[in-house]
Amino acid sequence: MPRNIKIAVEKGTRTLDGIPGKNYWQNEGKYNINVTVSPDTKIVSGMEKIVYSNNSPDTLKFLAIRFVNNVHKPESPRNGQVSDDFFTTGLDITSFAVNGETYNINSKNWGTVAGVRLKDPLLPHSSVELNIAWNYPLSKQDGREGQIDSTTFYVAYSYPRISVYDDYNGWDFLPHTLGQEFYNDFNDYQLSVKVPKDYVVWGTGNLENPDEVLQPTIAKRLKDSYVSNDVIHIATLDEMKNHKVTVQNDWNTWRFNSQHITDVCFAVSKNYVWDGASALVDAATNRRASVQAAYNDTAKDFHHYVKWAQHSLEYFSTKWPGVSFPFPKMTSFQGHADMEYPMMVNDATTKDLKFAEMVQDHEIAHSYFPFYMGTNEKRYAFMDEGWATTFEYLIGQEEFGKAHADSVYKMFRVKRYITDPSTEEDQPIISMSTQVSGAGYGNNSYGKASLSYLALKDMLGDSLFKKALHFYMDKWHGKHPIPWDYFNAMSAGAGQNLNWFFKNWFFTNNYIDLKIDTVKRENDFYTITVKNVGGFAIPFDVKIVYVDGQVGLLHESPAIWQKNEKQQVFKISTTKIIKSVELDGGIFMDYTPEDNRWQG
């Protein structure tokens, strides 16, 4: 446990019991944002009022203001190559006031995060009001945001926000460099988006004024979709082209509302079509969530997106993680990002329908981790990507059968990692995500972390694993859990100390490599010695084939490695002759599979 985490425990904001401490706090904001998108100039301009509450025991002498899209400035640090079309001039703050007092702010040299010294410090348990006006250009090359086509834009990270000030690290001043993702406070948002007529806006939160911005037929279809099982074509291409969708004012202002959420974003288009339906996400209260998709009519996969998303929401609500979908809405938008946002997904189109469904499953799974759980993706990406990868695999078993899900998981999530003996593959998962790159970032965040969650599921069994996972989610949702909170919560929820398991998976250079060392016969006994060369506490099957054709199959859970992490000895009492022994880890692919087989 790092020193700053120990201090948090001493201060009583965190505990070793898996629950938030009695002194736990987090800061929050109420954001009232008015944004205008000008399709002619591709400029986003906005004004916002932020009421920011300092719930910490500390006096804040400055505020850290975050604007992720400054990563488009040529001088910003990035951890990958970009093209000329990626560059913009970034954020221009045109006015900035604190509690009504104008500050002379020059944002020309701001990076993705900048400090603003307060004239009057913000005292503990008090709040401050900011009023900010700004503008920035939409990047021509879209990634997680930007111009998708000349009349379609994905507008994310579009407003200056207050960075996180937390109990274990203080202000989050880590720059955004495209590689790692995000860490945000839970805020309330009133978001208004002003666009010209014929532009539809899809955004985070409930659309509050459908009748003001949509023509009556379209508004009715949208409302019908909120309770419909069947997919409704809310706006067709023909209607979009013929000015039959939005109200025909020169400009329309679309208003969205969302509470206790980590971010808001939106997308606009003059040429996308729009589908909608709903999913029952809580049978006890009959709560339904709206499911929508907006896409270019030529994208074949997106015609299935609403149907697929209904299944995702129902599966995630009732099976894994088995927690009722925590938001009222989910919109999938066709872009190029394969990226999650609260209540929004931005996915690329592909001809491979199974892959398209899997990607949408993955991005929607992020609704739980990080958006419901509030994890710090920048420092601990495995706390969200590992789970999204795990749920993507579990739902995939239901959608495509176990054999297909296994094969896809092995190919995309495990194979490249386990066949590559480079040092960076075997850095401990606990390594801070900002301190690893390339393969070290990718596999620590996705494959290895997911394997650890699935290994724990195998060890505890589905019912106890779910009980532990629900304990963790119940205690920490809407907060900011860190890895030690996860470890402690799973131990508490499972009613057993799992530290040995977490140490094995998160704090070592282990990898997956079993080996049959020896198979010896003595009287009526066989002694099979299995070495754990790679070290990870994985589940595996032992398949014993006898000369007479009989087959014996043993399944060992990771628990077998608790007492001795290096080696296991199996004693098989039999008068028969063993022909072959084989170890099979399934999705826990072995670095050297050739020594997993013994032939008599």
Query: What does each C-alpha distance from 120 to 64, 99, 284, 568 come to in angstroms?
Result: 15, 10, 49, 65
The nearest distance, CB 388 to Zn ion, in angstroms, is 4
Q: Which residue, judged by CB position, is nearest to Zn ion in the bound state?
A: 388
Q: Which of 165/486 has CB closer to Zn ion? A: 486
Q: Which of 385/590 has CB closer to Zn ion? A: 385
Q: Which of 178/388 has CB closer to Zn ion? A: 388
Ranges of H-type helices in 176-293: 210-213, 216-225, 237-241
Residue 16-35 contact track with Zn ion, rule CB under 5 A, x = bound = --------------------
Q: Which of 14/144 has CB closer to Zn ion? A: 144
Which residues are 545's β-sheet partners? 551, 580
Listed residue (212, 190, 215) closest to 203, CA to CA? 190
The owner of tokens 């049959």 is: 516
Of residues 193-232, those binding Zn ion (CB under 5 A): none
The nearest distance, CB 68 to Zn ion, in angstroms, is 17
Q: Which of 142/181 has CB closer to Zn ion? A: 181
Q: Which of 339/572 has CB closer to Zn ion? A: 339
Sign of CA dihedral 146, 152, 156, 158: positive
The nearest distance, CB 334 to Zn ion, in angstroms, is 18
Q: Which of 265/388 has CB closer to Zn ion? A: 388
Q: Cβ distance 307 to 361 under 8 Å?
A: no
The nearest distance, CB 385 to Zn ion, in angstroms, is 5
Select the span of 252-260, 378-386, 462-470, 589-597 touching Zn ion (CB under 5 A).
Answer: 378-386
Phi/psi for 114 (5° steps) reads: -145, 150
Whole-number Å distance between alpha carbons of 40 and 480: 40
Q: Is 277 in the site for Zn ion (CB under 5 A)?
A: no
Select the span of 65-73, 171-179, 217-225, 377-385 touching Zn ion (CB under 5 A).
Answer: 377-385
Select the span of 195-203, 299-307, 348-356, 385-393 touching Zn ion (CB under 5 A).
Answer: 385-393
The nearest distance, CB 96 to Zn ion, in angstroms, is 34
Question: What H or E segment, with its residue span, contains residue 391?
Answer: helix 385-400
Phi/psi for 457 (5° steps) reads: -60, -40
Question: What H or E segment, with its residue span, contains residue 458?
Answer: helix 447-460
Q: Cβ distance 298 to 319 under 8 Å?
A: no
Q: If DSSP codes are grouped into helix, strand and coil, which group holds residue 214?
A: strand
Q: Which of 254/446 has CB closer to Zn ion? A: 446
The nearest distance, CB 210 to Zn ion, in angstroms, is 31
Following CA atoms 474, 475, 478, 481 in sequence, which dihedral angle do they give, to the nearest 10 degrees?
-120
Q: Cβ distance 52 to 127 under 8 Å?
A: yes
Select the span of 67-75, 144-152, 380-388, 463-471 touching Zn ion (CB under 5 A).
Answer: 380-388
The nearest distance, CB 366 to Zn ion, in angstroms, is 6
- Residue 395, sorted as left (phi over 0), alpha (psi -120 to 50) or beta, turns out to be alpha
Of residues 119-178, those binding Zn ion (CB under 5 A): none
Q: Is 344 in the site for Zn ion (CB under 5 A)?
A: no
The nearest distance, CB 335 to Zn ion, in angstroms, is 15
Instruction: Count the Cβ atoms, other than its own, within 10 Å of residue 133.
Output: 16
Select the span of 158-166, 216-224, 282-290, 386-394 touching Zn ion (CB under 5 A).
Answer: 386-394
Q: Which of 370/585 has CB closer to Zn ion? A: 370
Question: What H or E segment, with its residue span, contains residue 489?
Answer: helix 483-494
The nearest distance, CB 313 to Zn ion, in angstroms, is 17
Following CA atoms 170, 174, 180, 184 in sequence, which dihedral angle do they give, to the nearest 10 degrees?
40
Q: Is 388 in the site for Zn ion (CB under 5 A)?
A: yes
Q: Which residues bind Zn ion (CB under 5 A)?
A: 385, 388
